[in-house]
């Protein structure tokens, strides 16, 4: 142990992170080992370069952004049936799996527990997880298959998520056979001086590494192997917080298969040119998503010859991937984006700091940054009222909140 500890101290000194051992002597043996394991797993070079990136201007300014072409699901005419039949055949043959990303912290919603356990206030009081499961059950019945459901959790919410499924008897969707949980990766949080934070437990304070962690997590956890074993070729990946998400869409799948693309994404048209959403684009020729903060007013308002917004296709985290595309995406590291968040931590004097405003950097990879690894990608515009009812904020915000999601859900399912 002493030798290991000495080696770790040398590394920490090199990177100016010696304080990570401040609580070491106060920990029991199990936690001592955990801390050392954690420190050994940190990529300090990466952390150093991430800290340096917090000092730089937004580098995206030099990228060449151009519009991305798309298909409108309701303007496909006779092609609609054609694609639908191709997709239906593949779904019936058991080639589709669904993945729900449920590793986020849901800070804006402020719900005490994993976001998927949130009750949006329907008369049934079903949680987001159950609403999603209802959709899978309904579709499975339609195609006479059972669509395997893979759920990504974080270290922070994994136990609570599984306990919730246990409590609700997996909503009748058969544990072990059809539902599989896997954890996403984490990355340390940092203060504004570039010091990695120590959490209340005396261990390194880590946070989930963003929804872009999905590819690596699917590969590392062995879920991709499981999918292959099950004969899965296509994987729908969506968020946990869209209660109208349609995970099984034969038209989307038919398009992907027919056009031989490995990624096919759904979009909804922006509610207005300045809606705060990311939109599909090409970045330096490659498929990508541009954040609302990156787009100029002129770009946001520009239209094509039909009066359609050139940058109007919002990314709604409804994306279909071939299994092989996920494997490839899992190999290449994605860039990290910076978020400034509130984080409790133990300071160098051993005191617990409880901030009331953001005080720490959190680093997140975005799923859509991997789109650039493919040349060909399909985007399918669907109807917002049919497929997009996100629960992001608390009701105070009055937008993308439980109240708006509930209204949209009830309208779609004629529950009023
Ligand atoms: P958001 O980016 O909206 O984040 O996630 P969030 O964690 O739900 O909420 P805020 O930003 O803290 O308020 C979109 C989807 O991606 C998942 C979320 O669970 C949600 O389904 N996600 C996000 C992950 O699975 N892991 C992450 O690290 C981040």
For the stretch 195-215, pLDDT in tens is: 999 999 999 999 999 999 999
Identify the H or E element spanning 379.
Answer: strand 378-381
Contact 344, 201 (CB under 8 A): no
Does residue 245 line the site of ligand 1, with CB under 6 A? Answer: no
For the stretch 127-172, pLDDT in tens is: 999 999 999 999 999 999 999 999 999 999 999 999 999 999 999 9
Length of the chain: 416
pLDDT at residue 402 tops 80: yes
Same domain, 19 and 155: no
**Percentage, residues of the chain above pLDDT 90:** 92
Report, as an integer, the average pLDDT of 1-12. Answer: 92
- Distance between CA atoms of 263 and 367, rounded to whole angstroms? 12
Contact 87, 250 (CB under 8 A): yes
The total of structural domains in the chain comes to 2
- Distance between CA atoms of 388 and 402, rounded to whole angstroms? 13
Same domain, 32 and 91: no
Does residue 130 line the site of ligand 1, with CB under 6 A? Answer: no
Same domain, 37 and 125: no
Atom of ligand 1 nearest to the CA of 103: 25
Same domain, 227 and 119: yes
Does pTM top 0.75 for this prediction? yes
- Residue 102: both structure tokens together: 């449920």
**Cα(331) to centroid(ligand 1), Å:** 22
For the stretch 92-108, pLDDT in tens is: 999 999 999 999 999 89
Same domain, 15 and 147: no
pLDDT at residue 313 tops 90: yes
Atom of ligand 1 nearest to the CA of 208: 28
pLDDT at residue 52 tops 80: yes
Does residue 243 line the site of ligand 1, with CB under 6 A? Answer: no
Does residue 103 line the site of ligand 1, with CB under 6 A? Answer: yes
pLDDT at residue 60 tops 70: no
Same domain, 17 and 140: no
**Cα(208) to centroid(ligand 1), Å:** 9
pLDDT at residue 362 tops 90: yes
**Cα(102) to centroid(ligand 1), Å:** 7
Contact 103, 239 (CB under 8 A): no
Same domain, 116 and 71: yes
Contact 77, 387 (CB under 8 A): no
> Which among 360, 362, 368 has a CA at the least distance from the CA of 338?
362
Report, as an integer, the average pLDDT of 55-84. Answer: 89
Report, as an integer, the average pLDDT of 29-40. Answer: 96
pLDDT at residue 59 tops 60: no
The pLDDT of residue 261: 98
- Residue 147: both structure tokens together: 């669509």
State the first-to-last Cα distance of the chain, in angstroms, to the nearest integer. 65
Same domain, 181 and 111: yes
**Cα(108) to centroid(ligand 1), Å:** 10
Same domain, 197 and 112: yes
3-state SS, residue 288 = strand
Same domain, 51 and 130: yes
Report, as an integer, the average pLDDT of 27-42. Answer: 96
Atom of ligand 1 nearest to the CA of 207: 28
**Cα pseudo-dihedral 114, 116, 117, 120, rounded to 10:** 120
**Cα(239) to centroid(ligand 1), Å:** 7
For the stretch 162-180, pLDDT in tens is: 999 999 999 999 887 899 9
Report, as an integer, the average pLDDT of 310-322. Answer: 98
CATH number at residue 138: 3.90.550.10
**Percentage, residues of the chain above pLDDT 70:** 99
DSSP, residue by residue, 402-416: HHHHHHHHHHHTT--
The pLDDT of residue 332: 84
pLDDT at residue 67 tops 80: yes
Query: What letter would DSSP give residue 167?
Result: H
Contact 368, 406 (CB under 8 A): no
The pLDDT of residue 174: 83
- Distance between CA atoms of 121 and 193, rounded to whole angstroms? 43
- Residue 238: both structure tokens together: 């969506």
> Which among 383, 384, 381 has a CA at the least distance from the CA of 70?
381
Residue 293 binned pLDDT confidence (cut-offs 50, 70, 90): confident
pLDDT at residue 14 tops 80: yes
Asked which of 59-73, 192-206, 285-299, 402-416 is least confident by mean pLDDT, the reply is 59-73
pLDDT at residue 1 tops 90: no
pLDDT at residue 221 tops 80: yes
Same domain, 17 and 145: no
Q: Cα 89 vs. chain centroid, distance in angstroms?
A: 28
- Distance between CA atoms of 400 and 340, rounded to whole angstroms? 21
The pLDDT of residue 333: 87
For the stretch 253-279, pLDDT in tens is: 999 999 999 999 999 999 999 998 999
Same domain, 13 and 51: no
pLDDT at residue 58 tops 70: no
The pLDDT of residue 213: 97
Give the residue, by CA position, lying nearest to ligand 1 atom 1. Answer: 104
Looking only at the bridges linking them, the beta strands covering 313-322 and 360-365 are unpaired
Does residue 208 line the site of ligand 1, with CB under 6 A? Answer: yes
Does residue 277 line the site of ligand 1, with CB under 6 A? Answer: no
Query: In terms of residue numbers, what domain contains 173?
Result: 42-412
**Mean of all residue pLDDT scores within the chain:** 95
Sequence-ordered strand ranges (E) for 120-243: 149-153, 179-183, 186-188, 190-191, 206-208, 234-239
């Amino acid at each position: 142990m002493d030798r290991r500890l000495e080696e770790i101290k040398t590394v920490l000194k090199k990177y100016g992170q010696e304080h990570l051992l401040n609580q070491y002597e106060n920990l029991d043996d199990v936690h001592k080992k955990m801390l050392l394991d954690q420190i050994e797993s940190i990529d300090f070079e990466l952390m150093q370069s991430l800290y340096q990136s917090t000092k730089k201007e937004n580098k995206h300014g030099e990228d060449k952004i151009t519009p991305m072409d798309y298909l409108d699901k309701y303007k496909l005419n006779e092609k609609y049936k054609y694609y639908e039949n191709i997709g239906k055949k593949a779904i019936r043959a058991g080639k589709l799996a669904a993945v729900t990303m449920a590793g986020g912290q849901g800070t804006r919603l402020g719900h005490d527990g994993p976001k998927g356990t949130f009750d949006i206030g329907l008369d049934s009081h079903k949680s987001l997880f159950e609403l999603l499961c209802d959709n899978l059950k309904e579709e499975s019945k339609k195609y006479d298959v059972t669509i395997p459901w893979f759920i990504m959790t974080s270290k922070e919410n994994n136990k609570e998520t599984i306990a919730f499924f246990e409590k609700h008897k997996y909503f009748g969707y058969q544990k072990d056979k059809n539902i599989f949980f896997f954890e996403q990766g984490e990355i340390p949080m940092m203060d504004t001086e570039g010091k990695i934070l120590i959490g209340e437990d005396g261990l390194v304070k880590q946070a989930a590494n963003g929804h872009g962690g999905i590819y690596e997590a699917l590969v590392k956890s062995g879920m991709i192997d499981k999918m292959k074993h099950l004969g899965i070729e296509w994987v729908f990946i969506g968020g946990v917080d869209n209660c109208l998400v349609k995970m099984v869409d034969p038209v989307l799948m038919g398009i992907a298969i027919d056009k031989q693309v490995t990624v096919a994404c759904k979009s909804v048209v922006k509610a207005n040119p300045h809606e705060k959403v990311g939109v599909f684009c090409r970045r330096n020729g490659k498929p990508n998503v541009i954040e609302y903060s990156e787009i100029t007013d002129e770009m946001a308002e520009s239209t094509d010859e039909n009066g359609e917004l050139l940058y109007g296709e919002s990314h709604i985290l409804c994306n279909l991937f071939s299994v092989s595309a996920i494997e490839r995406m899992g190999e290449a590291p994605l860039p990290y984006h910076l978020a400034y968040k509130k984080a409790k931590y133990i300071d160098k004097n051993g005191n617990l700091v409880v901030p009331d405003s953001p005080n720490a950097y959190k680093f997140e990879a975005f799923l859509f940054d991997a789109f650039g690894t493919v040349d060909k990608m399909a985007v399918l515009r669907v109807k917002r009222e049919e497929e997009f009812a996100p629960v992001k904020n608390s009701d105070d915000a009055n937008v993308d909140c439980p109240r708006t999601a509930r209204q949209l859900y009830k309208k779609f399912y004629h529950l009023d």
